[in-house]
Amino acid sequence: AKKWINIRKSYRNFYKVPRNQTKLTIMLENLGMNYDGRPHSGLDDSKNIARIAIRMLQDGCDLRVNERIHGGQLMTVSSSVPLEGAPAPQMPRYRN
């Protein structure tokens, strides 16, 4: 993975909150959600981050790649840069 979405950056920019409001538990709390699972469990953290991402999409956020590795260096990707062939984010489809 050389490109990804830093959900904290996206959350901060979309909801216009200061950096100290982007801890996972604070983001969930601000969205009216409780933390599900055990803190610092990789699987539970991932599920909670996914819940935040879904909520952001529902609120109209255009989640886009905002960080990448180039030459071993972490770089910020401008939101105006096209996504080199990546598909637009889609709302998850639920199976009945």
CB 54 within 8 A of CB 92: yes
Is 56 among the domain residues? yes
Indicate whether 17 belongs to any domain.
Answer: yes
Residue whose structure tokens are 């610092």: 40
The residue segments making up the domain with residue 25 are: 3-76
CATH number of the domain enclosing 15: 3.30.420.10
Question: What is the band of 93 on the pLDDT scale with cuts at 50, 70, 90?
Answer: low
User: Is 92 a domain residue?
Assistant: no
Arithmetic mean of pLDDT, 23-50: 95
The β-bridge relationship of strands 73-76 and 3-4 is unpaired
Confidence of residue 40 (pLDDT cuts 50, 70, 90): confident
Mean pLDDT over residues 32-41, rounded?
A: 94
Q: Does 47 map to a domain?
A: yes
pTM, entire model: 0.77
pLDDT at 41 over 80: yes
Q: Which structure tokens are listed for 67?
A: 């960080």
Question: Which residue has better confidence, 78 or 62?
Answer: 62
Q: How many domains does the chain have?
A: 1
Residue 22 within a domain: yes
SS3 at position 93 = coil
